[in-house]
């Protein structure tokens, strides 16, 4: 039995392909070549505090820190005594030279409207918004909820909070009124910033109506600041609701950045509330900003002339770290796009890359698999030659999707940085450094300098190469969450109680003979077949490697003989329909790829899979459907409820 051997997850997937960084990329890279990378990692391992202190000095400090780290397990405080401001580092420090006239944000709305904000223009808008928040009574330490479409005012609102020391709590604009209320109540937000609506696939998303419904349960909110985006007819509550265009433009463009302690909270961000009370992950300024800035330089190899596009909404941590704080602290030009990738047609992303000459493109595996399903013809209509680096974020990417991404989008010349990290880690933890590390399809490769990641048994012992185990981090790192908002006991029990002395990520992983990490998915998603614990990602990757399959999700259902049986939900390419013959062919394919143990007992073809609004497959719901459980629980984070209805119909 696998558990008797102390091995928590069995790894069956094998991947032999490897791609060295292109010579011309290496020649101009921020970290060029393996020797420089190894020296960086050695410096970080030999003296982590000196290393991170050196990294932190890439930021501008009002007062220097006297101590790098105060580590009272499991609580870390970074850069003690230092005074800093996130908005100052993202804006003011760039105004002293030519970057003041450089584009900070290039924005395009779904209908095709667009704006460009230089660093000077963005700084002025942030100052005005900060002064408006002061007029509305917001002070240092107050919480501000932000519930908006992906428009420049969303980033402006975040930076305005950061400028005056208010703590922002961004709630993704696709969440329901109930989910919004839960997060506002927990944060005890004083002000809510929203919009009349947003655009999604040509239709209005009525954000203000959701806010009105939520605020009926939220007595802490005194004022609502409303951006006019779609021009719809909305109700404005007298004494509470204020139009952005009436209060912000009349403010002064001068607002001194508050000199805040390095450990002052920057934001709370709530993890998905699919079970129980949402967790308010709290990040503080100095450590978080150090981590996001350095990873922009290492992972994205950022240059001053890059046009950088992270497709994530700022309602997610990816948008916080790699659309707003990381890129702007680094002085990048950031592309923001409001709408859906298939409006008005399936080539909107490729149209945007061609139009704005995007050079760095960072998106999610679920989006990549959707592009595969739509077909290559949409890509081939456009000139993507401006691209020089591709990135993947959000969940493990299966090798065949990785190869499609490299070949079809990157023309076999762009390195891919497959990044592993979490809301809780603040920034990227495991990823190729593209000018130094050869890549393997489906592997996030190696931990970044200063990140002490390991794969261990439940007893905390390192597993042998090729074996699966639990992914942990042994030492504190600057971007780590400082606590759960107002719930330190939950912080300890959620992240530091399962494996002694470690931060437990909740993910399973294996490490190969080259020291590369392969993320195997959440340990909660492991399927126990006849005593063998199998990671869902490996079975899904085997299915997607079949020519007909665009996407797959595997779950376990109770089985009298095996304990659990594998049930696969499969979406086919090009809208084709599956039959019993194809089911058997796919079963044989899985057996050939990774072995008879992983053979799906049942295969269900479906046009779509249930996903959160950030694109992650909701396997919890699939497990319940596969088991015939009628009680699905909270579906507030689900993007399209009709997917569940169709899966139910297919079942009957």
What pLDDT is recorded for position 11?
Answer: 60
Tokens encoding 416? 């891919």
pLDDT of residue 374: 92
Cβ-based neighbours of 607, under 8 Å, separated by 6 or more: 571, 575, 646
Integer Cα distance of 547 and 255 in angstroms: 57
Residues forming a β-bridge with 10: 534
- According to CATH, where is 3.30.300.30 located in the chain? 526-651
From 560, 526, 501, 478, select the one nearest 51 (Cα to Cα).
478
Q: Across 389-457, where does the E strand assignment appear? A: 389-392, 416-418, 453-456
Instruction: Calculate what percentage of the chain has a pLDDT beyond 90.
Output: 75
Choice among 83-87, 149-153, 569-573, 645-649 with the minimum mean pLDDT: 645-649
Mean of the per-residue pLDDT values of the chain: 91
CATH of 526-651, one of 3.40.50.300, 3.30.300.30, 3.50.40.10, 3.40.50.2300: 3.30.300.30
Where are the CATH 3.40.50.980 domain residues in the chain? 124-255+265-283
Q: Which pLDDT band holds residue 605 (cuts at 50, 70, 90)?
A: very high
Give the tens place of pLDDT for each residue, 472-516. 999 999 999 999 999 999 999 999 999 999 999 999 999 999 999
Q: What is the pLDDT of residue 276?
A: 56
Q: Is the dihedral of CA 619, 620, 626, 632 positive or negative?
A: negative
Query: Whole-angstrom Cα distance, residue 194 to residue 241?
Result: 10
Question: Would strands 103-108 and 333-337 be described as parallel, antiparallel, or unpaired?
Answer: parallel
252 burial via Cβ count (<10 Å: 0-12, 13-18, 19+): exposed
- Residue 59 CA: distances (Å) to CA of 255, 287, 532: 20, 11, 48
Cis geometry, peptide bond prior to residue 313 (ω within 30 degrees of 0): no
Give the per-residue pLDDT at 1. 29
Is pLDDT above 80 for 616? no
Determine the pLDDT at residue 277.
72
Q: Is the pLDDT assigned to residue 273 strictly greater than 60?
A: no
State residue 634's pLDDT score.
56
Cβ–Cβ under 8 Å, residues 575 and 370 = no
Residues of the chain with CATH 3.40.50.12780: 1-90+284-449
Assess if CATH 3.40.50.980 describes domain 124-255+265-283: yes
> How many other CB atoms sit within 10 Å of the CB of residue 58?
14
pLDDT at position 369: 86
Place of tokens 């990048």: 332
Per-residue pLDDT, 31: 96
- Which residue did the predictor score with more confidence, 541 or 348? 348
Global pTM reads 0.87
Please count the residues of the chain. Answer: 652
Average pLDDT over residues 117-143: 98
CA 100, 101, 103, 105 torsion: positive or negative?
A: positive
Question: Has residue 6 got a pLDDT over 50?
Answer: no
- Decide if 450 contacts 430 (C-beta within 8 A): no
| Residue 280 pLDDT > 80 | yes
Q: What share of the chain is helix, strand, coil (3-state, %, to 5)?
A: 35, 25, 40
Question: How much is the pLDDT for 635?
Answer: 59
Query: Measured at the alpha carbon of residue 498, what is the angle toward residues 417 and 494, in degrees to the nearest 5?
Result: 75
Per-residue pLDDT band at 631 (split at 50, 70, 90): low
**Partner residues linked to 473 by β-bridges:** 453, 503
Q: Does domain 1-90+284-449 have CATH number 3.40.50.12780?
A: yes
């Amino acid at each position: 039995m696998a558990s008797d051997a102390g091995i928590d997850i069995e790894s069956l997937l094998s991947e032999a392909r490897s791609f060295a960084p292109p010579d011309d990329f290496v020649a101009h890279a921020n970290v060029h070549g393996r020797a420089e990378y190894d020296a960086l990692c050695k410096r970080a391992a030999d003296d982590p505090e000196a290393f991170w202190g050196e990294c932190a000095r890439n930021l501008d400090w009002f007062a220097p820190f006297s101590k790098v780290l105060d580590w009272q397990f499991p609580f870390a405080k970074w850069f003690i005594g230092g005074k800093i401001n996130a908005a100052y580092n993202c804006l003011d420090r760039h105004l002293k030279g030519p970057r003041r006239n450089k584009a900070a944000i290039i924005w395009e709305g779904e209908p095709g409207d667009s704006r460009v904000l230089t660093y000077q223009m963005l700084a002025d808008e942030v100052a005005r918004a900060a002064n408006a928040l002061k007029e509305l009574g917001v002070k240092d330490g107050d919480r501000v909820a932000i519930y908006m479409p992906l428009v420049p005012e969303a980033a402006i609102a975040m930076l305005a909070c950061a400028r005056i020391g208010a703590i922002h709590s961004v709630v993704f604009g696709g969440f329901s009124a109930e989910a919004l209320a839960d997060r506002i109540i927990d944060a005890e937000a004083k002000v809510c910033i929203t919009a009349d609506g947003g655009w999604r696939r040509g239709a209005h998303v009525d954000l203000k109506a959701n806010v009105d419904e939520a605020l009926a349960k939220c007595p802490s909110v005194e004022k609502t600041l409303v951006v006019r985006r779609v021009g719809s007819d909305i109700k404005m509550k007298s004494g509470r609701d204020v139009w952005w265009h009436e209060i912000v433009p009349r403010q002064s463009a001068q607002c001194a950045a508050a000199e805040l302690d390095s450990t002052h909270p920057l934001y709370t961000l709530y993890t998905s509330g699919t079970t129980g009370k949402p967790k308010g992950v709290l990040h503080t300024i100095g450590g978080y900003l150090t981590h996001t800035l350095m990873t922009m330089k290492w992972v994205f190899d950022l240059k001053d002339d890059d046009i950088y596009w992270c497709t994530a909404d700022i309602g997610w941590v990816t948008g916080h770290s790699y659309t707003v704080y990381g890129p702007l602290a680094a002085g990048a030009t950031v592309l923001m796009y409001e709408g859906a990738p298939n409006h008005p047609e399936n080539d909107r992303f490729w149209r945007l890359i061609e139009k704005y000459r995007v050079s760095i493109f960072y998106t999610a595996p679920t989006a990549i698999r959707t592009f595969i399903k739509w077909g290559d013809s949409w890509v081939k209509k456009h000139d993507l030659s401006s691209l020089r680096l591709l990135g993947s974020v959000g969940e493990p990417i299966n090798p065949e999707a990785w190869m499609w991404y490299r070949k079809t989008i990157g023309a076999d010349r762009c390195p891919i940085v497959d990044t592993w990290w979490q809301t809780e880690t603040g920034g990227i933890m495991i990823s190729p450094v593209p000018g130094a590390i050869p890549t393997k399809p489906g592997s996030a490769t190696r931990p970044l300098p200063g990140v002490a990641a390991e794969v261990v048994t439940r007893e905390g012992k390192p597993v042998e190469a090729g074996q699966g185990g639990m992914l942990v981090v042994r030492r504190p790192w600057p971007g780590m969450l400082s606590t759960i908002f107002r719930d330190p006991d939950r912080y300890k029990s959620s992240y530091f109680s399962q494996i002694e002395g470690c931060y437990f990520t909740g993910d399973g992983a294996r490490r190969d003979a080259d020291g590369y990490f392969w993320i195997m998915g959440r340990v909660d998603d492991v399927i126990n077949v006849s005593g063998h614990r199998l990671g869902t990602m490996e079975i899904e990757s085997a299915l997607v490697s079949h020519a007909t399959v665009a996407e797959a999700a595997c779950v376990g259902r109770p089985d009298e003989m095996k304990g659990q049986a594998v049930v696969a939900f499969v979406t086919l390419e090009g809208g084709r329909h599956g039959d019993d013959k194809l089911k058997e062919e796919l079963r044989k394919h899985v057996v050939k790829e990774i072995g008879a143990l992983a053979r799906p007992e049942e295969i269900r073809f479906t046009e779509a899979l249930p996903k959160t609004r950030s694109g992650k497959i909701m396997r919890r719901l699939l497990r319940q459907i596969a088991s015939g459980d009628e009680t699905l629980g909270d579906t507030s984070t689900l993007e399209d409820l009709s997917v569940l209805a169709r899966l139910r119909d297919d079942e009957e």
